[in-house]
Structure formats: C-alpha cells, structure tokens
Amino acid sequence: MKLGLFLFLIGIYGLILNRKNLILMIISIELILLAVIESTSINNLSFIFPLNSLENYSTDLRSVNPWFITGLTDGDGSFSFSIIKRPTKKVGFTVLSTFCITAGANSKNYKMIILVQEFFGEIGRIAKNEGVYQYTVQNFANCIVIRNHFIQYPLLTYKLVYFSMWCNLMQLMEADAHLTLEGLKKIVSIKAASKNGLNSILLGFPSDTVAIERPDYNPVLSNMNYNWLAKFLNSDGSFGLNLLKNKNFKLGFTVIASIRIYQDKISLVVLESIISMLGNGRLVKPSKGRTVFCLTISDIKSIFSFILIMDKHRLYGAKYLDYMDFRNGVAIIQTDGHLTSDGLEEIKAIIRNMNSFRKF
C-alpha cells in the first residue's frame, strides 16, 4: 500500500473513532494533511502524467512559437554566404547569402521542416540531400525576412556570432557594395573570418585582404525560455532509457533514464544557463581531445520535474516520438513497473524502437 494512502485511511478512521477526543482528532487531521503532501509530492506523479494523457500532444501545427524557430536554428541552423566566380560581372564575382536548417530525412521531420517554411511565409525551398532535409533561403529579399526574425528573437549559442557576420554582409549588399572592388574586399574579409574560411579560388584575392575580427559573443541569456529549450532539444538533446545489469535487483537489471543536451565549449554558457533555468542537471566534461560538453539529468526527481515542464511546450518531428517513448518508460519506472518481468519487457520494447532504432 502506498504511504500516502495508508496515512489518509488512518487519518479518516481516526476522525470517525475519536470525535470526542480533541487531541486525537488533531493528530488525525495532521495525518490526512501528511497524506495529501505525500500523494502530491514529486515522488508520486502517476496521476499527473498518465501514460495516455498526451495522445494529441504536438499535433496542431497551425501555429508555432517564434522561439521554437530560434531554438531549432541554434541547434541545426546555419548562416553562410558564397562568393562565386562570374566573369560576366564587373568585379568578376557574385555574392550569395544563405540561411539553412537541416533535419534527418524522415516523415515526421519533413512535416516539421514544412512548418518552418510556413512560419516564414513559404519562402525558400526544401530539398532532400544525403539523408537529410534542408530548408534553404537564398533570395536576398527573403534573407531580409530571416534577418528580421533573428533580430527580434536572438540566437543564444555561438551561432549568434556567425549571424552577426552574416548581417554585416547583408548590410553591404543592401548598399550594393558587392558590386564594387572595394566592397568585395570587405566581403572577402568577412568570409575569411567565417567558420569555413576562404576557398581556393578566393585565397589571395584581393591580395591585400585580411580577415576581420569576429564580433564578440555576448548572448542575452535572459531571453532563454522553455519554448526555445523545447526546440533546442529537437536538435542537440536526447532522451535515453538504458538497461544496466545489476545483481542487486531480482531480475538482474535496473533501468536508468537520462536526458542529455550537448554543446561545444564555445557555447558552454548556454548549458550553464539551462541548468540555472531548470534548477537541476550537471555538466559532464569532454574526454581528452574533445570539446563537447554534456548537460545530464539522470536522477528521477529531476526527470519528473523536467517532464512536467516539457509537457507544456511542444516538440516536433522525430524527437517528439522519442520524448513520448521516454515519457512512457519513465511512467513505468515511476510505478516500480521495471521491477516486474512484464514492466521490464515493456521497457525493452520501448528501447528497441526509439531514437536511432526507430523505423519510419
């Protein structure tokens, strides 16, 4: 019998049997209050998120919070530009600005990418390339639409720096500077400081061009919110259920649930801010020679708290399915179902069909 229910029944019986004894009635009332506290604590949440309570969660794609777009871009978006040789042009080159979001090529992610395109007014194009869907915007006027969004809803990761450089390029193009040799030199200087640098065609042209200094990385972390986090998880997060052999358990196994969010050390402040916002989580340092940090949430109370938050904010695409599988697995753990043969088999079935094992 659950402790909360046991205390509640004792308290009720105490009230019935001791109506003439004030002290015993007060004790009975205190037992009832303790039962309520126990039943509503983070340790007993089956009534808060039953397995099937979110059947229609994240199916309404008619609207999307703008911070979802920023969170997704912080994870899987990019801002770039190409300087292409064009002998027909006066300066011999043309400049092309590009915004791109990618997602794994499956039916759920395709719907998500369409949603992104609809959010921006159906500009740009969607293509499938080497196992991923790419949403790409290149037309200069359309890139202005993209720029305006991220000015209003700023990026938080180091991609903010690349976006700032991209905006500098856009400003030069607005002034038609790319049509002059001096303007092209400025653009090549920006390109030299970008993530991929100059290609073989541009190396040494113009000969006196030097890379600009990258803008400082100063994200406004006070903008961080759960809508942003939900979409960031779509890209750089994972939900895991892991079976571990443990002879201390009757069935020889225990189940570990974990939430992980990854980010390069250059954006470490983002992970630190997520921990601060959630009030839980710990940082795992990268192994030698690597630069990617991992924010890990693995204690069950913190996972319960996380689920209560994420249930109020949509995930999209294949990550939504992973989240729901994870959530169902946690619900089994929550009721100690993983300590039974049937419950353990149910969790094994969930693991076999989630994350990279999922078939579309």
The model's pLDDT over 13-64, given as tens digits with 9 standing for 90+, comes to 666 666 666 555 555 665 555 554 444 444 444 434 444 444 444 444 446 8
- Cα 164 to Cα 154, 159, 353: the distances in Å are 10, 9, 41
Dig out the tokens for 274 from the structure.
């997520």
The predicted model scores a pTM of: 0.79
Long-range contacts (CB closer than 8 Å, 24 or more residues apart) made by 166-175 = 166/79, 166/80, 166/81, 166/97, 166/99, 169/81, 169/95, 169/97, 170/97, 170/140, 170/143, 170/144, 173/95, 173/97, 173/140
Cβ contacts of residue 319 below 8 Å, gap of 6+? Answer: 233, 234, 237
pLDDT of residue 195: 78
Residues near 8 by Cβ (< 8 Å), separated by ≥ 6?
31, 32, 35, 36, 39
From the number of C-beta atoms within 10 Å of its C-beta (0-12, 13-18, 19+), residue 55 rates as exposed
Residue among 237, 91, 69 nearest 150 (CA)? 69
Which residues sit opposite 257 in a β-bridge? 241
- The number of helices, as runs of H, and strands, as runs of E, in the chain is 12, 8
Residues 64-78 have pLDDT tens digits of 899 999 999 999 999
Given this model, what pLDDT does residue 91 score? 77
Q: Are 113 and 137 in contact (CB under 8 A)?
A: no
| Total length of the chain | 360
Quote the pLDDT of residue 48: 42
What is the C-alpha to C-alpha distance for residues 8 and 14, in angstroms, rounded to an integer?
A: 10
Is residue 118 left, alpha or beta, with left meaning phi > 0 and alpha meaning psi from -120 to 50? alpha
Which residues neighbour 222 within 8 Å (Cβ) at sequence distance 6 or greater? none
Residue (of 159, 113, 157) closest to 132 by Cα position: 113
- Does the domain formed by 66-193 have CATH 3.10.28.10? yes
Q: Is there a contact between 320 and 306 (Cβ–Cβ < 8 Å)?
A: no
Architecture in CATH of 223-357: Roll (3.10)
Q: Are 127 and 136 in contact (CB under 8 A)?
A: yes
- CB neighbours of residue 182 within 10 Å: 9
HSE (side-chain half, CA atoms, 13 Å) at 5? 3
Across the beta sheet with 77-85, the strand order is: 77-85, 93-104, 132-137, 125-129
Write out the chain's pLDDT in tens, 360 residues: 455 555 566 666 666 666 666 555 555 665 555 554 444 444 444 434 444 444 444 444 446 899 999 999 999 999 998 888 877 777 778 888 999 999 999 999 999 999 999 999 999 999 998 889 999 999 899 999 999 999 999 999 999 999 999 999 999 989 888 888 888 888 888 888 887 766 655 554 555 667 788 899 999 999 999 999 999 998 899 999 998 887 777 777 888 999 999 999 999 999 999 999 999 999 999 888 899 999 999 988 899 999 998 988 888 889 999 999 999 999 999 888 888 889 889 999 999 999 888 887
Give me the residue label for tokens 């046991």. Answer: 6
pLDDT value, residue 37: 45
Domain ranges in the chain with CATH number 3.10.28.10 = 66-193, 223-357
What's residue 11's pLDDT? 61
